[in-house]
Amino acid sequence: MKKQYLLLLLLPVCFIIFSLSLRSAEGPYYNGLADPSYVYLINSLSLAQMNGYNIGHVDHPGTPLQITGAVVVKIFYTFSNGKNNIAEDVLARPEVYMNAIDFALIILNAAGLFIMGIIIYNVRKNYFTAMFFQTVPFVSVNMLEVFSLVKPENFAFFIIVILLALMVKIVYDPPENYNRFLILSGVLCGMIMAAKISFICILLIPLLIFPGIKKKLLFIAAASGSFLIFVLPAVSNTNYFIDWVGKLILHEDRYGKGDDAILNTGSFLQNIAKIYNNERFFAVVYFLILAVLALSLIWNKKSTEKVSSNSFELKFLFAIFFSMSVHVALVAKHYSNRYMFPALILTAPGLYISVLILYKKYLSKINANIVFGILFLITLFFGVYNSRKILAKTKTRVNETVKLNNFINANYPGTDIILSSGASGEFTGLLLAYFYSGENVKEVYKKIIISRYPNVTSYDMFNDKIFSLTDSFEAIDKFKSGKTVLFQTMDSGYNNSFLENIQSNYDLRNVKLTEVFSNNNGEQLYKLEVKGN
């Protein structure tokens, strides 16, 4: 390794330390973080067996992450002293395998930061510029929490930062073999869309930057081919995926639910306001980019000489702004702060180019190291603040879960608990994974889960169904016989549906729920009782 690159290892190493610290602080995935980590684990397991096992979760579609997870699962199982059967071993130690996958993703993302730093340093010949770009994972709390989870964002980060580094190279130091970079960019964009189709906004950047129809068509062909290759594991679920995307477009609520309406104007505008209020750093950068683009247009109209910014540079900045805007519009339809991930990554190149244009126009007499050194330090300190904030938030959440478990162990040891969807506990994580496993492997996984958790009763609140893998509802039978039974849920809004279900389907009358515990994570624990007793 060249000595001048050693400094560029600093932030990737800090990223590894932080991500591992966050993963350690969060504890088991099943304590509030099962979705979607358990789902990706079980589908990675199916791919790892390479024996006609299909995947059952294609909502994102997420196949590149499942392929990566399958490789990690296979390697980890091969070199560990586990059970004779890989499926039994993974489902006996799901947390161990998810930690292994997340560790692989952390190392991959750190490598991505390092490679990005090298590319940008070679293009701009400035350490502060390269290291500023490397601060990108720390610009938002909502981005930082991704890197301790097994989810598409954690995988896509590596590809996106490499793609952005290539765009910097193309704009500021165009390569001789342009088509090679063009095809590579297309392949990366195809992988990004296969990881999560809603990240299509990233594809718009190279599409707008590459000049000429022929180059754009070549890029689209490379991206399309890459996408088709990486979604091959999900090909048997193509109709489901198309139907799923259609529901997202045609319904106003998340997950394809709600009224038939492509857009609810009122909630759309409210969600845009929420986005800018919740992501202040993103909002500042977004409107700074808008201001710089407007100023550049004014400068070019007033002056007979073009502004010192090259046309490629302004096109790059516009592409970033357009991509951000498109993604904000997509997220505002079905808002959740976790959906902002790709747009948050774009704040780094957007802020850099905006400051660079202003620097060349107004501050060119000042040493560039001073300007971009200050920019780096500002984002670095902001990153430290965000890191401390997410760690504190995580510790609070974990402490609340511990309180719940301690309460159950102290007051209701050995008591049967009907677990609602999303409730903390390893069984609910495994059950979620089971629901999203391939149809031809469900029975295999069900037997393994039953061997670990026999006779557990749960409530699927999304489908309003009392559920048991064994079709034996022991908890309800015990309640009928007068024994204490608890109900644990993350959403009390479904309590009435649960009561109606249990009374109408299991010959029970006048059942009520009496709250015995709740915590600040939103989990409630109820005791099933008969009214009047």
Q: What is the CA radius of gyration of the chain?
A: 26
pLDDT reported for residue 149: 96
Contacts of 475 (CB under 8 A, 6+ apart): 416, 417, 418, 455, 456, 457, 485
pLDDT reported for residue 239: 77
Contacts of 313 (CB under 8 A, 6+ apart): 171, 172, 353, 356, 357
State the number of CA atoms in the 13 A half-sphere of 26 facing the CB. Answer: 25
| Residues 189 and 203 sit within 8 Å (Cβ to Cβ) | yes
| Residues 466 and 420 sit within 8 Å (Cβ to Cβ) | no
CA distance 453 to 186: 46
Quickly tell me which residue has 């800090």 as its tokens: 14
pLDDT reported for residue 220: 97
Distances from the Cα of 347 to the Cα of 55, 132, 134, 170, 243, angstroms = 35, 11, 12, 19, 33
- Looking at the DSSP bridge assignments, the partners of residue 486 are 417, 527
CA distance 161 to 387: 20
The helix (H) or strand (E) run that includes residue 49 is helix 34-49
pLDDT reported for residue 308: 47
Helices (H) and strands (E) in the chain, counts: 22, 6
Predicted confidence (pLDDT) at residue 470 exceeds the cutoff of 80: yes
> pLDDT-derived band of residue 53, with 50, 70 and 90 as boundaries?
low
Out of 66-70, 162-166, 422-426, pick the least confident.
Answer: 422-426
Predicted confidence (pLDDT) at residue 1 exceeds the cutoff of 70: no
> pLDDT-derived band of residue 526, with 50, 70 and 90 as boundaries?
very high
CA distance 262 to 265: 10
> pLDDT-derived band of residue 307, with 50, 70 and 90 as boundaries?
very low
Which pairs count as long-range contacts for 402-406, CB under 8 Å and 24+ apart, including other chains? 403/519, 404/517, 404/519, 404/521, 404/523, 404/525
Q: What is the mean pLDDT of residues 490-500?
A: 93
Distances from the Cα of 201 to the Cα of 207, 216, 443, angstroms = 10, 16, 39
CA distance 303 to 113: 39
DSSP state, 483? Answer: -
Q: Percentage of the chain surpassing pLDDT 90? A: 78
Q: What is the mean pLDDT of residues 248-260?
A: 62
pLDDT reported for residue 473: 92
Picking from 116, 164, 163, 157, the residue whose alpha carbon sits closest to that of residue 11 is 116
DSSP state, 85? Answer: S
CA distance 47 to 63: 10
Predicted confidence (pLDDT) at residue 309 exceeds the cutoff of 70: no
> pLDDT-derived band of residue 258, with 50, 70 and 90 as boundaries?
low
Listing from the earlier edge strand, what are the strands of the sheet with 416-420? 465-468, 457-460, 416-420, 485-489, 524-530, 511-518
Structure-token pair, residue 65: 């992450």
Predicted confidence (pLDDT) at residue 255 exceeds the cutoff of 70: no
- Cα 105 off chain centre by: 12
DSSP state, 350? Answer: H
pLDDT reported for residue 297: 87
pLDDT reported for residue 336: 85
| Residues 42 and 437 sit within 8 Å (Cβ to Cβ) | yes
Q: What is the mean pLDDT of residues 240-247?
A: 73
* Tens digits of residue pLDDT in 324-368: 999 999 999 888 888 999 999 999 999 999 999 999 988 888 998
* Tens digits of residue pLDDT in 189-243: 999 999 999 999 999 999 999 999 999 999 999 999 999 999 998 887 777 777 7
pLDDT reported for residue 261: 63
Mean pLDDT, the chain, whole residue set: 91
pLDDT reported for residue 56: 87
Q: Percentage of the chain surpassing pLDDT 70? A: 94
* Tens digits of residue pLDDT in 396-434: 999 999 999 999 999 999 999 999 998 999 999 999 999
- Cα 224 off chain centre by: 23
CA distance 310 to 385: 35
Concatenate the DSSP letters of all residues of 99-151 into one string: HHHHHHHHHHHHHHHHHHHHHHHHHH--HHHHHHHHTGGGS-HHHHGGGGS-S
CA distance 77 to 44: 12
pLDDT reported for residue 511: 94
* Tens digits of residue pLDDT in 35-44: 999 999 999 9
